[in-house]
């Protein structure tokens, strides 16, 4: 029996696609292993220079540790670097972002012919590549990729160039997949995409999909991987207000707390708009967890601009900030902008914002000490059962049952975060 291993870098969409490929191989009779595999697959990422370097490093390490293996590299890094991919990585099979469903066939073809395969989809038409997962073996939260691609072209971002334009999974196929996952015992569904809020199928939008999923009895929680502030329309606000299965957590990328920087980034809102939307959300769900992404060191960002971002994040009170030092991506508008910020300054700004995020996260978690919350128990690790509340507070318990939703009175001891000031 031939063995395989798979490494995944990047976003939740990549995780979903890797799980799909993993199931393809398992269903074909391959056995999964953690090392010394016959077939080694790497699902790559290119969102930052760090992701590029990590992708190359992982592929090189796999080749070094598995010299006789069939190495399969696919995904965003391969797509972005396809012009000179032969000079960058050593792999028997290389695919881009649009051929995940062909991975198994490529492996079979290589096993038969022993001829290197490089496959990129050069067609200009962007069609949603259908995949389906009926069960996650190692996760109790089940992800569904409902959308791919992005039309926004933020000035710093390479992803629209490697993922293509927006396209969505068929509405009925989404519901079939949810039902299959529910039958397999999953209680929480996470809807994922490159631009999730742009979901559209048969004149149905994201809010329609959430409401339809809510009708599946076994599904107790519905979560979004992320959503843009401009996509929280009246229908989505109604979901936030009235849908009991929609969790009290939204990840809404801000990217900058300075109007000048937002405009340079080609973001489609200003701070007044963002603030008004956040205030509306909190009026509907006062205890909701709002997390965000922020880029520091964008070209032309002055110290005053950064202070504006810092103070905005502090005052609006996010529950967590994911901080990204600006990463120059060749081919983007931002890459051609003047006044790039020195790396030492970017690093220092990132440090300050990470410190603020820690303060804000502690402040948010402490609000719930003494309150009873429902926890989805996910795994046993290091002597504790671990899980999350619906508003994404990490909890550790000495006694619990995985994949059960239980009521827990939160304490300083069972919140899985260092709450010391």
316-350 pLDDT per residue, tens: 999 999 999 999 999 999 999 999 999 999 999 99
Domain extent, residue 287, equals 249-366
End residue of a domain, out of 96, 119, 142: 119
277-325 pLDDT per residue, tens: 999 999 999 999 999 999 999 999 999 999 999 999 999 999 999 999 9
**What pLDDT is stored for residue 41 in this prediction?**
98
**Structural domains counted in the chain:** 4
112-123 pLDDT per residue, tens: 999 999 999 877
This prediction's pTM: 0.96
46 and 134 assigned to the same domain: no
**What pLDDT is stored for residue 139 in this prediction?**
81
| Residue recorded with tokens 């900030």 | 321
Q: Residues 342, 387: contact at Cβ < 8 Å?
A: no
23-81 pLDDT per residue, tens: 999 999 999 998 889 999 999 999 999 999 999 999 999 999 999 999 999 999 999 99
End residue of a domain, out of 183, 217, 247: 247
**Which CATH number fits the domain that encloses residue 292?**
3.30.750.200
Answer with the residue of higher pLDDT: 168 or 1: 168
Q: Choose among 301, 293, 284, 285: nearest CA to 338.
A: 301
Q: How far apart are CA 296 and CA 302, in angstroms?
A: 10
Query: Region 363-387: what's the mean pLDDT?
Result: 97
Q: Does 421 fall in a domain?
A: no
Measured between its terminal Cα atoms, the distance across the chain in Å is: 53
Q: What pairs with residue 144 in β-bridges?
A: 191
**Which CATH number fits the domain that encloses residue 86?**
3.40.50.12160
């Amino acid at each position: 029996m031939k063995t395989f291993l798979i490494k995944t870098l990047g976003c939740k969409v990549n995780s979903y696609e890797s799980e799909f490929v993993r199931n393809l191989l398992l269903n074909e009779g391959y056995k999964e292993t953690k090392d010394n595999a016959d077939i080694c697959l790497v699902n790559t990422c290119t969102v930052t220079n760090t992701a590029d370097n990590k992708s190359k490093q992982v592929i090189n390490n796999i080749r070094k540790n598995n010299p006789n293996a069939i190495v399969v590299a696919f995904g965003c890094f391969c797509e972005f670097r396809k012009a000179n991919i032969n000079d960058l990585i050593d792999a028997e099979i290389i695919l881009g972002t649009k051929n995940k469903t062909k991975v198994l066939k490529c492996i079979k073809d290589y096993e038969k012919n022993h001829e290197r395969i490089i496959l990129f989809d050069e067609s200009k038409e962007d069609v949603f590549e259908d995949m389906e997962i009926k069960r996650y073996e190692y996760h109790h939260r089940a992800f569904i990729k409902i959308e791919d691609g992005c039309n926004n072209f933020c000035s710093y971002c390479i992803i629209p160039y490697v993922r293509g334009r927006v396209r969505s999974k068929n509405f009925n196929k989404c519901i079939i997949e949810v039902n299959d996952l529910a039958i397999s015992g999953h209680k929480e569904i996470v809807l994922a995409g490159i631009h999730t809020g742009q979901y559209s199928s048969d004149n149905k939008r994201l809010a329609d999909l959430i409401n339809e999923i809510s009708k599946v009895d076994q599904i107790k929680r519905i979560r979004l991987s992320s959503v843009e502030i401009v996509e929280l329309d009246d229908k989505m606000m109604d979901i936030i207000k009235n849908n009991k299965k929609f969790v009290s957590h939204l990840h809404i990328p801000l990217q900058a707390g300075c109007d000048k920087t937002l405009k340079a980034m080609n973001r489609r809102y200003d701070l007044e708009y963002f603030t008004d939307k956040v205030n509306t959300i909190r009026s509907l769900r006062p205890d909701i967890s709002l997390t965000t992404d922020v880029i520091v060191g964008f070209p032309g960002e002055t110290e005053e601009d950064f202070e504006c971002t810092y103070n905005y994040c502090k005052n609006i009170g996010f529950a967590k900030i994911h901080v990204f030092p600006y990463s120059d991506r060749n081919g983007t508008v931002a890459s051609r902008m003047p006044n790039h910020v020195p790396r030492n300054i970017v690093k220092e700004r990132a440090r300050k914002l990470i410190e603020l995020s820690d303060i804000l996260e502690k402040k948010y978690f402490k609000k719930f000490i003494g309150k009873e919350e429902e926890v989805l128990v996910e795994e046993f690790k290091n002597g504790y059962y671990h899980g999350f509340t619906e508003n994404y507070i990490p909890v550790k318990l000495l006694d619990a049952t995985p994949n059960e939703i239980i009521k827990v009175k939160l304490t300083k001891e069972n919140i899985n975060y260092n709450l010391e000031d």
